[in-house]
């Protein structure tokens, strides 16, 4: 006789109404349609009539808010696994998912930090560090970050927007870094990015793979290593500038780039390091 706990029965997601097969002994599950977790065999309320829709919004909510919720449920996005780098398409309303290749958990939630926070974050969502927030996490990995408060931990993201006045002891590495117009920051550690835009005031060291751009009201004081730099009329740059190939100094951001295969002729003379060019 078959074990009753191994028998699969149909279970319906209370969020989107999608039906899927689950073991009869299952205590919880994740919907394969919307990615939300639910109790497959939880008793339903007696007066609940809507099983395929979300709970109705409060009467005081605006029409714009209802439209945004509806659009979020309808849209989809492509996320990449942190471990095996496989990409998959998920619902815009999903808060987490499982990688179909390596079964790793992928967090999709957005984080808004309004006070002291010291736990590590690894999400494909966004992180908002508000003006009253204090982020001391040893590692924060996210899709995009808005920094308006104190950043003491390390931040790695796709796009980092800094709108903060003060000192930043943490390390920032991103594909694109924007120092907003109201920002006035002093970075103790080197900023590593593919491109950097300076619209406010900044002092510190920058290593950029492609370019650094200083807008007409921007100000940058410090050492810069990049392939190209643009200073608009009205912008200011003071420090040492090194222009050239920076693949070796940007190894952590250019893992996919293969080193050049051309070999240099042997020489009996020691190589001298390139001297930075002072610029004001």
- Split at pLDDT 50, 70, 90, the class of 64 is low
More confident residue, 138 or 51: 138
* DSSP secondary structure string for all residues of 29-96: EE-TTT--EE-TTPPPPTT---SSSPPPPPTTS-HHHHHHHHHHHH-EEEEE-TTT--EEEEETT-SE
Q: In whole angstroms, give the CA distance from residue 146 to residue 138.
A: 17
Mean pLDDT over 26-36 rounds to 74
| Phi, psi for residue 88 in degrees, rounded to 5 | -145, 160
Radius of gyration (C-alpha) of the chain in whole angstroms: 25
Q: Residue 180 and residue 218: Cα distance in Å, rounded?
A: 9
| pLDDT score for 23 | 75
How large is the average pLDDT for residues 51-67?
50
DSSP 8-state symbol, 243: E
pTM (2 d.p.): 0.62
Q: How far apart are CA 72 and CA 21, in angstroms?
A: 26
In the prediction, which pLDDT does 274 show?
52
- What is residue 274's three-state secondary structure? coil
pLDDT reading at 44 higher than 80? no
More confident residue, 259 or 240: 240
What is the per-residue pLDDT across 110-152, written as a single tens digit (0 to 9) for each?
Answer: 999 999 988 899 999 999 999 999 998 888 999 999 999 999 9
Considering only residues 138 and 57, tell me which one the structure prediction assigns the higher pLDDT: 138
Query: Chain-wide mean pLDDT for the chain?
Result: 78
Is the pLDDT higher at 38 or at 158?
158
Percent of the chain, pLDDT > 70?
A: 72
- Provide the token pair at 260: 């050049």
Task: List 177's β-bridge partners, or say none.
Answer: 160, 196
Q: Any idea which of 48-62, 199-213, 228-242 has the lowest mean pLDDT?
A: 48-62
Q: How does residue 245 score in pLDDT terms, banded at 50, 70 and 90? A: low
């Amino acid at each position: 006789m078959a074990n009753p706990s191994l028998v699969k029965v149909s279970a319906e997601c209370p969020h989107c109404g999608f039906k899927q097969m689950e073991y009869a002994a299952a205590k919880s599950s994740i919907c394969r349609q919307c990615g939300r977790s639910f109790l497959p065999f939880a008793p339903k309320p007696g007066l609940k009539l809507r099983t395929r829709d979300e709970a109705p919004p409060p009467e005081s909510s605006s029409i714009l808010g209802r439209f945004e919720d509806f659009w979020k449920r309808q849209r989809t996005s492509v996320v990449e696994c942190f471990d095996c780098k496989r990409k998959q398409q998920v619902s815009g309303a999903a808060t987490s998912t499982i990688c179909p290749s390596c079964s790793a958990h992928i967090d999709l939630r957005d984080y808004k930090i309004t006070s002291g926070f010291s736990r590590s974050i690894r999400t494909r969502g966004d992180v908002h560090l508000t003006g009253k927030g204090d982020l001391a996490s040893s590692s924060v990995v996210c899709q995009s970050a808005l920094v308006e408060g104190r950043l003491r931990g390390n931040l790695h993201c796709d796009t980092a927007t800094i709108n903060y006045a003060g000192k930043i002891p943490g390390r920032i590495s991103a594909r694109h870094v924007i120092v907003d117009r109201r920002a006035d920051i002093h970075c103790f550690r080197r900023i590593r990015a593919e491109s950097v835009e300076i619209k406010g005031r900044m002092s510190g060291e920058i290593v950029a793979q492609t370019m650094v751009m200083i807008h007409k009201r921007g100000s940058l004081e410090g050492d810069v290593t990049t392939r190209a730099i643009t200073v608009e009329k009205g912008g200011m740059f003071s420090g040492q500038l090194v222009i050239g190939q920076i693949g070796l100094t940007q190894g952590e951001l250019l893992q996919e780039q293969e080193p050049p295969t051309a070999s240099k002729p042997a020489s009996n003379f020691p190589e001298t390091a390139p001297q930075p060019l002072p610029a004001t």
